[in-house]
Structure formats: C-alpha cells, structure tokens
Amino acid sequence: MFYLVEVEDHIRVEPRHFGLPTKEAVERQLKESYVNSITKDLGFVISVVSVDSVDDGVIIPGDGSPFYRSTFKLLIWKPELHELVYGTIVEIANFGAFMQIGPAQGMIHISQTMEDYVSVSKTGTLSGKMSKRIISKGDECLARIVAISYKSGEPKIGLTMRQPGLGKLEWMKEDKRKKDGAAKVAAKKAEKSDKKGGKK
C-alpha cells in the first residue's frame, strides 16, 4: 500500500553539495540517501515529496560533513499482511508464478494459484486440470499477501489467489457473468411459479 509519511532525521550532507542553499543541499542528499532504499520500517521509498524544516547544521569532530536535523515527507510503498494487491504476472516457474505488485514482486506458489490441481505446461503456463483455467505471463490478477519476510534486504512476499474473489481478472468477470445468468434463470423460474400459483 502507498503511504505519505513524515520523517524526522539527522541528514549528513556530503561535501559535493556545499555551495547550494541549505534546504536544496538537504533535499538532494535525501534523494540520494532515501529514494529506492528498502527498510522494514518504511518499506520501499518512492520519492521525497517535501522538505518541511531544516535546523542549523552540526559538525562532528573528525567528519567534515555537517548534519542537519530535518523534517520531510516521503512517498513509500509498504506491503501489509492480508492486503489485497493488484498486479501483473511477470514470470512462470515450475513452482508457481511471480507477480509485479507496485515496486516489488510477490511469489504465488503453484498450490496457491487456483482451487484445482495445477501443472506447468510446455508452453510456460500454469493450467488447472478440472477448470481448464490458465495463468500466463502478462495476465492481470488480484491476490492477497499471506507472508512477508525481510531477512535478505528486499522483502520476500508470498501471495495467494485461492480465496473467493481472487485470481485472474478474466476469471472474476466470467464468474460474475455466470452468477448473473444463474440469478436471471432463478428469477424467471420464480416468476413462472408465481403465475402458476395465481391461476390455481
């Protein structure tokens, strides 16, 4: 999920930014230090939105760079457990599929792709034995985050599409058409039954 967060930090401005107005130097340093970084607390830092305040600089003996206590806003993307995410399948593997969600990729284990026995075809798609449904590269899907691990820097995100209302967007449209069709048939049967009941 995307968030706008306010952060307060002591920013070490490197000598190459000397000569710029203080606020501009701090903003450039923030972009270099924060943008495209990934942490467990902030998630993925997308951009520096604004620098709201910069205090006077402090120099620490032995370090030629000044430190400025600053308050600034960041646009971040942080995956949350149980969050619904929309994305595109970017790779099919023997064990499942990888889906691009925001700036990250999540993995859908083959057992979590659909309510069916799923196998990998020679054409590089995942196909359900009974449903005949297929997942291939480029498919747009809706999934739920079921696991997040930050052990190796960039988080490993586990996804599922086995819950109701999840899966390939085409499947959801197909299921809605079937449901709407079944509702119309049931309504017609009920109408006929009411007419017959009225005649008697």
In the predicted model, is pLDDT for residue 200 greater than 60? no
Residues in CB range of 75: below 8 A, 6 or more apart: 2, 3, 4, 45, 46, 47, 49
Q: Where do the domains of the chain lie, and which CATH numbers do they carry?
A: 2-77 (3.30.1490.120), 84-172 (2.40.50.140)
Give me the percent of the chain exceeding a pLDDT of 70: 98
Mean pLDDT, the chain, rounded, equals: 90
Q: State pTM to two decimals.
A: 0.76
Question: Over the stretch 113-149, which tens digit does the pLDDT of each residue have?
Answer: 998 999 998 888 999 999 899 999 999 999 999 999 9
Query: What backbone phi and psi angles, to 5 degrees, belong to 174?
Result: -60, -45
